[in-house]
């Protein structure tokens, strides 16, 4: 039981720290994660090359360099694709729902309409949208970590 409690304490503290990191750095968290990933892939490529696997090692080195140099470009392309999919999904859902004549049309189309609007925001303001998401996620992580710590201090199970 004591072991589970210490893991819960570590988890709560990590949630608080990660939440604080997300709120303060926003999309910088992605940049940092891409840098760490790129360096890790690069190091693994060098180790693999030194271990004797020439093609796999060179592939890892090239992959690590590409992640470090072009990481945000890849993320940006993925965000454009997600934005377009959100817009298409939202619009087609609004059309499908409006054809079925639901009892409360406004309530029925509000979710898909918000999805389409979010897609447009992501398409035309990527950095603002990503910053907003990281701020919201950071706040939620800090709240969760604080609540877990409160319950631990109060002596209740999390």
* pLDDT tens figures, 91-123: 999 999 888 877 788 888 899 999 999 999 999
Report whether 19 contacts 145 (CB < 8 A).
yes
Q: How far apart are CA 85 and CA 82, in angstroms?
A: 5
Round the average pLDDT of the chain to a whole number and report it: 89
Q: Quick count: other Cβ atoms within 10 Å of Cβ 142?
A: 18
The token pair that represents 133 in the structure block: 């998401």
């Amino acid at each position: 039981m004591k072991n589970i409690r210490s893991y819960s304490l570590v988890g709560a503290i990590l949630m608080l720290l990660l939440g604080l990191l997300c709120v303060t750095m926003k999309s910088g968290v992605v940049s940092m994660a891409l840098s760490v990933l790129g360096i890790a892939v690069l190091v693994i490529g060098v180790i693999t090359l030194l271990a004797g696997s020439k093609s796999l090692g060179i592939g890892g080195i090239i992959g690590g360099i590409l992640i470090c140099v072009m990481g945000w470009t890849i993320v940006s392309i993925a965000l454009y694709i997600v934005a377009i999919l959100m817009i298409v999904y939202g619009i087609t859902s609004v059309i499908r729902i409006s054809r079925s004549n639901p009892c409360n049309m406004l309530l029925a189309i509000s979710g898909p309409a918000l999805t389409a609007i979010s897609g447009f925001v992501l398409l035309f303001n990527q950095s603002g949208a990503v910053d907003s998401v990281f701020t919201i996620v950071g706040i939620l992580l800090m709240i969760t970590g604080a609540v877990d710590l409160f319950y631990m201090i109060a002596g209740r199970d999390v």
